[in-house]
Structure 1
Amino acid sequence: MTDRICVGAIAGAFGVNGEVRLKSFTAEPADIANYGPLTTEDGKKVFTVNLTRPITGGLGARLTGVVTREDAEALKGVTLWAPRDALPSLPDDEFYHTDLIGLEVVDTGGQILGRVRAIFDHGAGDILEVVGGKTVLLLPFTRAVVPTVDVTAGRIVADPPGNDE
């Protein structure tokens, strides 16, 4: 587990006075302003986020130290990170994506399937991308397909569809 979690990204400038277009990765998008101050991935820049308005595809926001459109444009693509202890604790059956990346995945018989490389959400629920050698599995992140997640042990038990042999 990491001590910081990516909670958003700057999608570019909004307007001419240093406002940014902010994409929030939090369950409630506006909560991104409550987890600050936020840092860049390398930790070299620190921002306090003040949300200004909802906009298409994200939120309008002012960041400390960003005063011109050029300042805002220069930050396009920068990810924003919050300290883990600023985020709410989760129920036992919910996980931060960052905690799942890299976990070993085994089937119900103990056979290693690979490691979680990414988690996708295309609207119908999370999908785990599991890579083992040259094999890539996409598993629905449901209790039926993924009955056990043990972050402490670094392991996920999965029962992939079509694995009834």
Structure 2
Amino acid sequence: MSSGTDTVLLGRISGLFGVRGWLKVYSYTEPPAAIFDYALWYLGDNASPMRVCHHRKQGRGLVVQLAADDAPPIEDRDVAAALVGLDVRVAREALPSLPDDQVYWADLLGCRVVTRDGVDLGRVDGLMDTGEHPVLVVENGRQRLIPFVRGPVVDSVDTGEGRIVVDWDPEF
């Protein structure tokens, strides 16, 4: 990525689709097709963005055709195969602003989680969507699954400081 480009993870290239260079996309956005709201994707550690040329819903999944710079769309399956498995990121500045009480999941990754009493529970290593509410996956020598429910469980979130305060039993 070009220096100074802050990106946010939105999905990954999950496979090939057909023989004309199209790719399957696994989206972390809600709804999943919202990943196509962004015309430029940074893939893996690539220094330059890829342009979304064509996209569509395909069955229960999503497919896309990409191009580098001002080049025509990738139409060679073997060229497209080199992109499979790469993360899809977009420039943070392309994301819409959120109200103060909301955060992007990507901003929670790496945050230190502490109890009200200051007991360090570890760092957020991932998040899961259970349908009911998101769950923080917290790692610190062991894994804890902590519901991300503001009020009863999550007291405060300060992404600038990288700190989440929770009402949680450290023994649990």
* Equivalent of 2:112 in 104, 112, 126: 104
CA distance in 2 between counterparts of 1:32 and 1:39 reads: 12
Aligned residue in 1 for 2:162: 154
The reply to whether residue 127 of structure 1 matches residue 135 of structure 2 is: yes
Give 1:24 deviation, angstroms.
Answer: 1.8
- Segments of 5+ residues of structure 2 without an aligned counterpart are 68-72
Question: Does the CA contact (< 8 Å) of 1:49 and 1:61 recur in 2?
Answer: yes
What is the letter of the counterpart of residue 20 of structure 1? Answer: L
The within-5 A match list for 1:4-153 is: 4-64=7-67, 65-132=73-140, 134-143=141-150, 144-153=152-161
Task: Select between 34-43 and 76-85 the one with higher mean Cα deviation.
Answer: 34-43
Question: Does the CA contact (< 8 Å) of 1:127 and 1:138 recur in 2?
Answer: yes
Aligned residue in 1 for 2:70: none
CA distance in 2 between counterparts of 1:129 and 1:90 reads: 23
Kindly tell me: are residues 109 and 19 of structure 1, through their superposed partners in 2, closer, same or farther at Cα, counting changes over 3 Å? same
Give 1:73 deviation, angstroms.
Answer: 2.4
Percent identical residues = 39
CA distance in 1 between counterparts of 2:58 and 2:20 reads: 16
Give 1:122 deviation, angstroms.
Answer: 3.4
Question: Does the CA contact (< 8 Å) of 1:18 and 1:67 recur in 2?
Answer: yes
Kindly tell me: are residues 72 and 122 of structure 1, through their superposed partners in 2, closer, same or farther at Cα, counting changes over 3 Å? farther
CA distance in 2 between counterparts of 1:139 and 1:59 reads: 30
CA distance in 2 between counterparts of 1:38 and 1:26 reads: 14
Corresponding pairs, count: 160
Question: Does the CA contact (< 8 Å) of 1:33 and 1:50 recur in 2?
Answer: no
In structure 1, the residue corresponding to 2:81 is in which secondary structure? Answer: helix
Give 1:147 deviation, angstroms.
Answer: 1.8
Runs of 4+ in 1 over 6 A off after TM superposition: none
What do you get for the CA RMSD once the two structures are aligned?
A: 2.0
In structure 1, the residue corresponding to 2:103 is in which secondary structure? Answer: coil
